[in-house]
Homo-oligomer: A and B are copies of this chain.
Amino acid sequence: MPSYTAPTKDMQFILHDVLKLSQGKTPGYGDLDRDFTAAILEEAGKIASEVLAPLNPVGDTHGCRLENGVVYTPPGFKDAFQQMKDNGWPGIDMPEDFGGQGMPYVLGTAVGEFFSAANQAFTMYQGLTHGAASTILAHGTEAQKATYLHKMVACDWTGTMNLTEPHCGTDLGLMRTKAEPQADGSYKVTGQKIFISAGEHDMAENIIHLVLAKIPGGPEGIKGVSLFIVPKFLVNEDGSLGPRNGVSCGKIEEKMGIHGNATCVMNYDGATGYLLGEEHKGMRAMFTMMNEARLGVGMQGVAQAEIAFQNALAYARDRLQGRDITGPKNPDSPADPLIVHPDIRRNLMEQKSFVEGGRAFLLWGATLIDAAHRSGDAEADGLISLMTPVIKGFLTDKGFDMTVQAQQVYGGHGYIEEWGMSQYARDARIAMIYEGANGVQALDLVGRKLAQDGGKHVMAFFEMVKTFCKTAGETQGMAEFVDPLKRASKDLQTAAMYFMQEGMKNPNAALSGSYDFMHLFGHVCLGLMWARMAEAAQAALAAGTDDPEFHRTKLATARFYMARQLPMTATHLARIQSGAEPVMALDAANF
């Protein structure tokens, strides 16, 4: 049976040895010392392993069920949700004013990885609530905050995001759902939304839908979209629940994975809605939380890769098959464990170096979000905005790939559902799609973020890498990590330069290379994280760590990433430099 153990040691290493959290200037970071985060991570890891992970295959097998408009979650989900609420996990990084624990987002990200790894479908119920609550927090009136936030922070009420309609996903300007103003200042919302995760279920008293819709007579297209709060049950003045609103779940989708999460078709039939933020500024309001939401999806990529890796590793150590080519490792047994075979190791090292590097990248990103939100650090905000599509696109693509590689370690046993490896791949697949499909991330990166504020943020990124390489490069033994990073960063700069020059003449020259650029950027970021981790590991070894094997393993894994993964930047660059012609040559009819 699949199992999950929270990687608390690795998390602590990244938080403290690499990111040096408690030395950070961001408000709230001073409290995050090693013992404090250890206690939080241990508790979170426990509930992830003991409560959420055992329900993961249950959710996959049973799925959700729609009967007479009611969605029933899989057996055990309700109790587990109650346990999560009782322990205050949903509000860990929400303001204390609304019943949260007020901790930094980086800590929410750290525990979020554990929860997502243990049970992605389950964790989405609270994840979406977090997103919806954050949006109300940022754009709601005081009255709206007072009405909804306490309940949502506690997950007594959950939240949803309603964007997609049958005929439009990425291109929301085509939206048809309309919101008609009423005399009392409310709106009547009418239309159909699809792919609404957690749109209906049996784990909360109320569901607060955030719905994008058009107010008739407003501007055409995307500029005429507004955001509305549409509660499942209307809320009385005293906070008690009033009558059922005109919103209902018409269908739940059969999906490739995340069966434990109800993906709903939501029908709005003149439902009462309340404007959230300004008229016609709905996209802006919805997207305020985008960096966070997309980082959260990137985290799912790493999380599924982590649990898949853990199980693949256990299987590779346990399963006896074949002999070490250099001589039996297990002479008393009829065969050696799989892990003796070089190609199994190659596979496992790819997984390990991705998961640990990706985790560091995510947590670093989360510290930038904290700096932006808690300290108003504009540079951090610019940097994380730039890197958000990379975090989302690269980490979910690679995360999925790694679940597939993990499955491969099991041979035929990886393909049957009994061993659980199929679920990780099927669940991980969605993260490449939702919250902006990865092709859209690449477009956002190359078409928007790269040139944002005159290219200031990408220049800052290159400067940062350069400074790191210069400083770290002076430390003895760091050249083997810094040199490959320099080369990779140079490939990225060359690609960016190519876009600037060619993109002026022909935007397709840049956009044809956007996906490769996103991956190139991702490799440079993971290369940077591995160099930083190597630096931290060397420092720990020099200082006489009491866990030298852990730190030596970090160095070996960093070497693997540099030698085996980072060379990919050259191919991405070559593809980019081939320009638009190979991609755009055909007429649509000739494909």
Q: Are A321 and B168 in contact (CB under 8 A)?
A: yes
Complex Cα spacing A255 to B413, Å: 9
Chain B residues with Cβ below 8 Å from A348 are 591
Q: Are B433 and A408 in contact (CB under 8 A)?
A: yes
Q: Are A321 and B585 in contact (CB under 8 A)?
A: no
Q: How far is the CB of A430 from chain B (nearest CB, A)?
A: 5
Q: Are A575 and B582 in contact (CB under 8 A)?
A: no
Complex Cα spacing A31 to B571, Å: 45
Q: Is A249 an interface residue (CB 8 A)?
A: no
Most chain B Cβ neighbours within 10 Å, of A257, A343, A584, A588: A343
Q: How far is the CB of A343 from chain B (nearest CB, A)?
A: 4
Q: Are A433 and B418 in contact (CB under 8 A)?
A: no
Chain B residues with Cβ below 8 Å from A570 are 567, 570-571, 574
**Closest chain B residue to A556, Cβ basis:** B585
Chain B residues with Cβ below 8 Å from A169 are 321, 411-412
Cβ 8 A contact of A254, one of B417, B511, B586: B417
Report how many copies the assembly holds.
Answer: 2
Chain B residues with Cβ below 8 Å from A9 are none
Tell whether A574 pairs with B567 under 8 Å between CB atoms, given A195-B412, A343-B515.
yes
Q: How far is the CB of A548 from chain B (nearest CB, A)?
A: 11
**Closest chain B residue to A586, Cβ basis:** B556
Tell whether A253 pairs with B416 under 8 Å between CB atoms, given A343-B439, A508-B325, A583-B560.
yes
Pick 26 A–B contacts, CB within 8 A, sort by A: A168-B321, A169-B412, A171-B321, A171-B335, A174-B335, A317-B588, A325-B447, A326-B506, A326-B507, A341-B443, A341-B511, A343-B439, A343-B512, A346-B512, A347-B515, A400-B404, A404-B429, A407-B429, A408-B438, A408-B439, A412-B433, A553-B590, A556-B582, A559-B582, A564-B582, A567-B574
**Given contacts A171-B322, A407-B429, A564-B583, could you give 12 more A-B pairs where the C-beta distance is less than 8 Å?**
A164-B412, A173-B335, A253-B416, A326-B508, A343-B443, A343-B511, A412-B433, A553-B590, A556-B585, A567-B571, A570-B574, A571-B571
